[in-house]
Structure 1
Amino acid sequence: MASDTDTTKTETVYCHNCGEQIDAAAELCPHCGVRQRPPPSAVDDKRLVAALLAILLGSFGAHKFYLGRTKVGILYLLFFWTGLPGLVGIVEGALYLSKSREEFEAKYAERDR
């Protein structure tokens, strides 16, 4: 009869900053202290919300405020009466949806502006 030993392994990944092996569920790297990327579903959710805001409320720059680009959002608000930000918002919404998760994350999700 085999002994009941705990053979469950914890899933590990590599830190995207220092390259050390860390637990996959770790929010911060214990070696360098850098916050790890959000899980894919969080990025996908952010991409979908940004796209819907761009399509539905693009005239007012809601998607720009959501993505942390406040100055551009204010510019959209200043010119909303022309209708041009609404057209640009529809195009940007389609672009957000057409980007892969990695492309969206690199361009918008990790931006600190």
Structure 2
Amino acid sequence: MAIIDCPECTHKISDQSLSCTNCGCPTSKMKFLIRCPECSKSISNQSISCTNCGFPIAKPAPFKAVPPPLPTQNPIPIVQGNRKSKGTAALLAFLLGGLGIHKFYLDQVFWGILYLLFCWTFIPVIISMFEVIILLFMDESEFNKRFS
């Protein structure tokens, strides 16, 4: 429930009432009345000028529906987070494979710790040389599927 002004007498009335309690103007008529911006007299919303002072009434522009924006292709590829480079993994395996650094890079922390624990035996060095060859000959999509 809202309080509105009667366009005839400016008396405050409920929007639920059937007519103004002060002047008797029906509320159904109020929906079609507007106030003149110059003299504040109530006039029909269809008027092109005020009947009291002659002030021209600007009609609101007709509503134009704005078409939705057309979908466009994003020229910038969306980079997924945490993408690993096959070349970097192979280089780390070749240079620091005995310490398991490439395993940490590939988010295989358990294996990285295992390589560190056994680095004194040189077994991780031998295994990492095989891993370098495997990484270099692995397809890019397979690498991304396994490590990204």
Which bracket does the TM-score occupy, shorter chain normalised?
0.5 to 0.7
Letter in 1 for 2:89: A
Unaligned runs of 5+ in 1: 1-9, 12-22, 28-35
Unaligned runs of 5+ in 2: 1-71
Give the percent of matched residue pairs that are identical in Structure 1 and Structure 2: 38
Aligned length: 77
| Residue number in structure 2 paired with 1:78 | 117
Change (3 A) 1:24 1:106: farther
SS of the aligned residue for 2:102 comes to helix
Which fold has the larger relative contact order, with Cα–Cα distance below 8 Å and residues 6 or more apart in sequence? 1
Q: TM-score with structure 1 length normalisation?
A: 0.60
Letter in 1 for 2:107: G
| In 2, Cα distance between equivalents of 1:98 and 1:26 | 26
Q: TM-score with structure 2 length normalisation?
A: 0.46
Structure 1 runs (4+) greater than 3 angstroms displaced: none
| Residue number in structure 2 paired with 1:25 | 76
Q: In the TM superposition, what is the alpha-carbon distance from 1:58 to its structure 2 partner?
A: 0.6
| Residue number in structure 1 paired with 2:24 | none
Letter in 1 for 2:112: G
Give 1 or 2 for the bigger CA radius of gyration.
2
Computed over aligned residues only, the root mean square deviation of the Cα atoms, in angstroms, reads 2.3
